[in-house]
Chains A and B, each alone.
Chain A
């Protein structure tokens, strides 16, 4: 049992920690959640359906993250961090090339500030690459709801004023780059 438990930890630790990290941002909080999840795995080891271990772990992680957010009320702190990063990014001159690092920092803060389930779905689908079916099992909602929530999450991210401001500060898009983008996407699909 101990060997199997260790294997389960090795197999799922990255996914669990990533989810907690992108949800909570503070590394210490993500570490606490990861420990909590694996302790629960140990406590419930004999009751779990091991064919659905990944979904069970993600569900427990999701619940632990929600509890953590409620307990610590840390969202406000990260919103403040987010505003700081935004101000810094806007005030610096980076030419016309978007500052990827600043953009990603803002994006991570924006993801963290989303409400659940929007936050969880965008992390599971776009960062962790889970399938719609896996997300459906974890969150216990229908596949079509997952898609609707995902598109709404992305729209909410795009509506974030600081993120949009940073994008527009660097010149937005020209029709050429858009044409390249659409043709790149179609080319990638045909490949």
Chain B
């Protein structure tokens, strides 16, 4: 069972750090010091705390050697690379490029991109809704419907129109962004579709028993 003395020692020992940090009020400090002078256990605890604290305060600040910072100084003295772009992605670079263009071009580019997508996708969707599917993967024996030469000519015409429009925008902003992000992938996709269609036609002709 804890005695009065034990509980007093407990509270006194809780105040050791506050005493060291001078956070006690004058009466608390008085009580603390008188108890410490009378109680050997608390005196020992206080002396231990003081020894540890003195040792901590005595630990020096340490500096690193100069060669540790050499690569850092080289980085700062190196070729003028904008600090923020060292780890930026292609999208942040695109954002930075757009933000450096004039205001009309900043809005013209996304609008042109939307227009290109609309021009190329809308006829396809319309034709799909009229049950004229694009060439796609089909299982063996399934009847394959393909674009007619007129459809392909119309799609190419639309695509050329879109390319012309985008090139005009790109020339105005001196950035051929259309080629890089929109036209090339669309051309590749369309060419692949044509190639698949022609190879299937040849396969069917070869397999035809008649």
Task: List CB contacts (< 8 Å) of A1-52 with chain B.
Answer: 2, 5-6, 9, 13-15, 17-18, 21-22, 30-31, 34-35, 38-39, 42-47
CB-CB under 8 A from B210, the residues of chain A are none
Assess whether A43 is in contact with B87, with CB atoms less than 8 Å apart.
yes
A96 within 8 A of B: no
Assess whether B75 is in contact with A175, with CB atoms less than 8 Å apart.
no
CB-CB under 8 A from A127, the residues of chain B are 56-57, 59, 61
Knowing A179-B37, A182-B33, say if A14 contacts B48 (CB, 8 Å): no
Task: List CB contacts (< 8 Å) of A113-143 with chain B.
Answer: 122, 126-128
A161 within 8 A of B: no
Assess whether B55 is in contact with A35, with CB atoms less than 8 Å apart.
no
Assess whether A38 is in contact with B48, with CB atoms less than 8 Å apart.
no
Q: How far is the CA of A154 from the CA of B46 in the complex (A)?
A: 12
CB-CB under 8 A from A103, the residues of chain B are 51, 55
A58 within 8 A of B: no
Q: Say which size band chain A's interface belongs to.
A: 35 or more
B76 within 8 A of A: yes
Assess whether A175 is in contact with B37, with CB atoms less than 8 Å apart.
yes
Assess whether A128 is in contact with B61, with CB atoms less than 8 Å apart.
yes
Assess whether A104 is in contact with B69, with CB atoms less than 8 Å apart.
no
* A contacts, CB < 8 Å to B: 2, 5-6, 9, 13-15, 17-18, 21-22, 30-31, 34-35, 38-39, 42-47, 98, 100, 103-104, 107-108, 111, 122, 126-128, 147, 150-151, 154-155, 157-158, 163-164, 167, 172-173, 175, 177-179, 181-182, 185-186, 189
